[in-house]
Amino acid sequence: MANLADVAQTTNATKRVRTIGNVEIRPAEFQVLIEERRVGLTVREFELFQLLAERLDAVVQRPEIYSLMWGGEMPRRDRSVDVLIRRVRAKLEQVAPEWRYIHTHFGIGYRFSPEPA
C-alpha cells in the first residue's frame, strides 16, 4: 500500500511540470504544451504521452504499455495501443509539424524522442 514516502515520491515524479526540449508537460492539469501552444490531448492520450515521455529515448514495449494503461496481459492482436498512438501523433503534428516525437520500433514498441522532421 502507499505510504507517505511513496506519495511524496509520486508527487515529485509525476506531478511536477517537466520540460523536454520544446515540450512542456503539466501532469496536474493533464496538459501538454509545445512552444506555448496547447496540444489538447484527452485524458487517455495524455497518460500514454506521459508514460513515454517519462522514459525519454527508451523503447517501451507494446505489451508493457498495454499492461500499464489497461492492466493485465495484452490480448493477441489487440490494437488499442496503436490507435491511441495514432491519435497522439496526429495532435502533436497539428501543433508542431516540423517535429517527430514518437518513433516506431517495429515488432517491439515505441520511443519518445523529439527530433526535427
Residues found near DNA in the complex (CB under 7 A): 42-45, 62, 70, 77-80, 82-86, 89, 104, 106-109
Burial of 3 (0-12, 13-18, 19+ CB in 10 A): exposed
Interface with its own copies, residue 42, by CB under 8 A:
yes
Q: Are 59 and 105 in contact (CB under 8 A)?
A: yes
Give the interface segment with its own copies, choosing from 1-9, 57-65, 79-87, 89-97 (CB under 8 A). 57-65
85 interacts with, out of its own copies, DNA, none, CB within 5 to 8 A per kind: DNA
Whole-angstrom distance, CA of residue 58 vs CA of residue 19: 17
**Of 80, 83, 81, 86, nearest in space to 102 by CA:** 86
By beta-carbon proximity to its own copies, the closer residue of 36 and 97 is 36
Least gap, CB of 76 to its own copies (angstroms):
16
Whole-angstrom distance, CA of residue 48 vs CA of residue 34: 17
Least gap, CB of 10 to DNA (angstroms):
21
Least gap, CB of 40 to its own copies (angstroms):
9
